[in-house]
């Protein structure tokens, strides 16, 4: 019964085989027709000679109505009228009205309970409410068709959109009258109209359009309004806007494609940022992360794009956004791995984003064409043909210019000389035996050979004056071996015969002109395109710094040391540093090891001695157990600082380290730090002094690879 009544109505919500994209198609088809008419209205001298005349008053207008508390404002008398109108059985009508009239809403707040009896509206959360609202909207649609016959009406739930296309002064003057009739009808049916949120979009042109539209326009506080006079004498001012958000997209007579794409991209980043912890969680498989991304972020980005069509610029923007998000999900960054976008998509079996949008567009259009329950106009059918016949998919992109990492043969670890280093991140290699990270440095010859083609492409874009000037100077300057001897040199001639190379016989004006010309040629050899080279070098430096930051995340530590006795180690470190500096000043080659290695070795030695002392000194063991550092099983606990208790507490879920194992690890560290280039930096965060004013001192150690 409901489906039969709604078969020819433009309601696209709460009905099977209809969706928001169908409503968007209907609205955008009107915008396309108005834009096409405005584009074709331009006249030239040739078309005017052929008989064409410019339009006097033509354009389009869209009214987007915002209804407040729509479901709660349906009068029960009107509801009964709707049910009777569409042939609902009398006993069922009585049951529906009984459920609504005898409903009670109970609210409890601060121990007080209040019951409210509704006087109108549908039951929120009831499974029957969408069907009842559909019948009510069909009831309104029939009446709106009578009061606004020239409008193109689109309904989606409680969103009401009316669009007009006019040609001539008389057709335009009918539009304000129809708008006034629509507002009056909705108020009479119990609807509450939000005047501030109800907007009008317009696009009109012609030689007399300003004279015709001026009586209906007004300006208040730098905003333009459209004046509508109701039959009751009340004047309503509706805001005039260039664009308006409708069903998650944007309506506009100018560039709704770019506005909608920008909004969908923003919403995709909002969804991505909300799920960023899960999407970037390396403990989850990549398959699950991609599945979550496709079902939320990608679905948010592609919503509505099958109804607008994208330009070449829009395709590039959408594709770049999606691929950037995918790279963040899978953890494949171009400045680290050097992989192109095509390689990343192929590695994880992901289709091109624009291919996905293109395929969804074709599927939706094919389904809509075969849907007999979907009402659509000829303009919508023409729009479908444009969307399908002009595919959204751009040509496959060319691989971006990236600095390729040199492919080297497996390198044997220099420490253990047993295992081959494993390629993990960029140029960083890992030894599975020693647990050492090693960075393989690229030679200049290999970098030049691998990336020479990129530099050649860049040099081809420079002006010829830049590349030819140096070659010309090199070609014109005589070489020493080619300089003629005195015997073969031409004899000097007098100034009068003009056979010499000097300018003595030239007028002063000519000499000044020639000198200025030579100076100008020398000063104009530096092109503006040199900025491109500087920009490329800057990019390389930034990428290198990013790579170093990645390495520091795995190899940098901060140590907080006690400065008060008897646990302090800083006095020994300060004394050792002073001794090392004195030896260095007397004999630069006498210390042998760098200061960072000496200080770190002293720190590890003190830790070793104290761990050994824990095995023999019972009093020290008692203090360690009271501080929860040592457990009853002779193991070191994993402690974390509790801000509320202001003390260190044992962290649950972390395994304790046996004291003997910890002692062995400290001894191994003392051996590893003697290897060159293992310890990069080890210094305090403040100036070295004999007296420490604070109870804690921060010691930073960078580059300690473990």
Q: Containing domain of residue 327, as a range?
A: 255-389
The answer to whether residues 148 and 53 belong to one domain is yes
pTM equals 0.55
Residue 174 scores a pLDDT above 80: yes
Q: Of 296-305, 314-323, 553-562, where does mean pLDDT reach its minimum?
A: 553-562
Residue 451 belongs to a domain:
no
Q: Is 519 exposed, middle or buried (0-12, 13-18, 19+ CB in 10 A)?
A: exposed
> What would the pLDDT profile of 608-647 be if each residue is shown by its tens digit?
888 888 888 888 888 888 888 888 888 988 888 888 888 8
Does residue 461 sit within a domain?
no
What confidence score (pLDDT) does residue 705 get? 36
Does 200 share its domain with 89?
A: yes
Same-domain pairing of 147 and 225: yes
Higher pLDDT: 137 or 47? It is: 137
- For 300-354, give the secondary structure using H, E and C: HHHCCHHHCCCCHHHHHHHHHHHHHHHHHHHCCCHHHHCCCHHHHHHHCCCCCHH
**Statement to judge: residues 104 and 221 lie in one domain:** yes
Query: Final residue of a domain: which of 366, 389, 412?
Result: 389
Whether 304 and 194 map to the same domain: the answer is no
Final residue in a domain of this structure, among 251, 271, 298:
251
Mean pLDDT along residues 590-596? 81
Does the structure show a pLDDT above 70 at 287? yes
- Is residue 520 a part of any domain in this protein? no
What does the pLDDT look like over 269-286, one tens digit per residue?
A: 999 999 999 999 988 999
pLDDT per residue as tens digits for the range 520-538: 444 444 666 787 788 888 8
- Residue 238's pLDDT is what? 92
Q: Say whether both 149 and 278 belong to one domain.
A: no
Is residue 13 one of the residues assigned to a domain? yes
| Domain shared by 26 and 163, yes or no | yes
Kindly list the distances between the CA atom of residue 89 and the CA atoms of 79, 83, 142, 502, in Å, as whole numbers in the listed order.
Answer: 14, 8, 21, 116
In this model, does residue 72 exceed pLDDT 70?
A: yes
Residue 541 is assigned to a structural domain of this protein: no
10 Å Cβ neighbour count for 146? 9
Is there a single domain that holds both residue 25 and residue 111?
yes
Question: What band does 28 get if pLDDT is binned at 50, 70 and 90?
Answer: very high
Half-sphere exposure of 509 (CA within 13 A, CB side): 0
Q: Verify that 183 and 284 share a domain, yes or no.
A: no
Residue at which a domain ends, from 336, 355, 389: 389
Tell me the two tokens of residue 155. 């309904």
In a shared domain, residues 287 and 311:
yes
For the stretch 179-224, pLDDT in tens is 999 999 888 888 888 888 899 999 999 989 999 999 999 998 888 9
Question: Which of 49-53, 212-216, 332-336 is least confident?
Answer: 49-53
| 3-class DSSP state of 42 | coil
User: What would the pLDDT profile of 475-523 be if each residue is shown by its tens digit?
Assistant: 555 544 444 444 445 455 554 554 555 555 555 555 555 554 444 444 4
How many domains is the chain partitioned into structurally?
3
Whether 353 has a pLDDT exceeding 60, the answer reads yes
527 domain residue, yes or no = no
195 lies in the same domain as 57: yes
| pLDDT tens per residue, range 410-442 | 555 555 554 454 544 454 555 655 555 555 444
Q: Does 321 lie in the same domain as 247?
A: no
């Amino acid at each position: 019964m409901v489906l039969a009544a709604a078969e020819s109505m433009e309601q696209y919500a709460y009905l099977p085989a209809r969706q928001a994209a169908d409503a968007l198609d209907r609205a955008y088809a009107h915008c396309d027709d108005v834009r096409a008419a405005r584009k074709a209205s331009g006249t030239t001298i040739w078309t005017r000679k052929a008989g064409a005349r410019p339009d006097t008053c033509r354009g389009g207008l869209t009214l987007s109505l915002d209804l407040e508390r729509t479901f709660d404002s349906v009068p029960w008398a009107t509801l009964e009228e709707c049910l009777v109108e569409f042939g609902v059985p009398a006993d069922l009508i009585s049951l529906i009205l009984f459920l609504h009239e005898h409903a009670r809403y109970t609210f409890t707040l601060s121990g007080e309970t209040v019951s409210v009896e509704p006087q109108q509206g549908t039951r929120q959360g009831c499974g029957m409410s969408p069907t009842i609202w559909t019948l009510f909207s069909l009831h309104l649609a029939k009446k709106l068709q009578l009061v606004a016959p020239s409008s193109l009406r689109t309904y989606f739930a409680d969103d009401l959109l009316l669009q007009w296309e006019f040609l001539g002064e008389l057709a335009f003057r009918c539009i304000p009258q129809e708008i006034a009739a629509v507002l009056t009808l909705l108020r009479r049916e119990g609807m509450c109209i939000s005047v501030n949120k109800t907007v009008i979009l317009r696009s009109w042109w012609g030689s007399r359009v300003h004279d015709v539209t001026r009586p209906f326009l007004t300006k208040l506080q730098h905003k333009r309004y459209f004046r509508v006079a109701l039959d009751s004498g009340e004047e309503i001012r509706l805001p005039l806007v260039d664009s308006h958000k409708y069903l998650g997209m944007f309506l506009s007579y100018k560039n709704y494609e770019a506005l909608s794409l920008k909004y969908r991209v923003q919403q995709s980043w909002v969804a991505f940022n909300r799920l960023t912890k899960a999407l970037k969680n390396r403990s989850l498989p990549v398959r699950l992360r991609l599945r979550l991304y496709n079902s939320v972020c990608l679905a948010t980005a592609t919503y509505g794009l099958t109804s607008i069509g994208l330009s070449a610029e829009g395709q590039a923007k959408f594709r770049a956004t999606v691929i950037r998000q995918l790279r963040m999900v899978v953890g494949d960054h171009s400045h680290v791995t050097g992989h192109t976008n095509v390689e990343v998509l192929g590695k994880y079996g992901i289709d091109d984003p624009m291919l996905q949008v293109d395929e969804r567009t074709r599927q939706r259009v094919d389904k809509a064409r075969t849907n007999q329950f979907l009402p659509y106009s000829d303009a919508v059918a023409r729009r479908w043909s444009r969307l399908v016949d002009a595919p959204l998919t751009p040509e496959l992109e060319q691989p971006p210019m990236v600095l390729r990492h040199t492919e080297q043969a497996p390198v044997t670890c220099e420490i253990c000389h047993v295992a081959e280093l494993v390629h993990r991140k960029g140029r960083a290699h890992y030894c599975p035996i020693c647990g050492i990270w090693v960075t393989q440095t690229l030679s200049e010859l290999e970098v030049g050979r691998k990336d020479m083609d990129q530099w050649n492409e860049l040099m081809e874009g420079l002006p010829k004056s830049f590349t030819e000037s140096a070659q010309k100077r090199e070609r014109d300057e005589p070489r020493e071996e080619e300089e003629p001897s005195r015997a073969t040199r031409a004899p000097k001639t007098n100034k009068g015969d003009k056979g010499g190379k000097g300018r003595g016989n030239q007028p002063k004006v000519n000499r000044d002109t020639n000198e200025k010309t030579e100076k100008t040629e020398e000063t104009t050899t530096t092109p503006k395109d040199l900025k491109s080279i500087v920009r490329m070098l800057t990019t390389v430096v930034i990428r290198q710094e990013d790579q170093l930051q990645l390495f520091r995340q795995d190899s940098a530590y901060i140590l907080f040391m006690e400065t008060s006795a008897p646990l302090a180690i800083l006095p020994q470190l300060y004394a050792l540093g002073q001794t090392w500096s004195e030896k260095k000043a007397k004999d630069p080659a006498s210390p042998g090891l760098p200061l960072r290695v000496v200080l770190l070795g002293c720190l590890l030695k003190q830790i070793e001695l104290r761990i050994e002392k824990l095995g023999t000194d019972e009093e020290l063991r008692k203090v360690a157990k009271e501080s929860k550092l040592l457990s009853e099983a002779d193991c070191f606990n994993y402690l974390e600082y509790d801000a509320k208790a202001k003390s260190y507490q044992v962290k649950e879920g972390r395994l304790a380290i046996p004291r003997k194992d910890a002692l062995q690890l400290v001894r191994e560290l003392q051996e590893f730090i003697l290897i060159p280039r293992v310890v990069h930096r080890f210094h305090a965060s403040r100036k070295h002094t004999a007296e420490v004013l604070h109870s804690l001192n921060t010691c930073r150690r960078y580059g300690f690879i473990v």
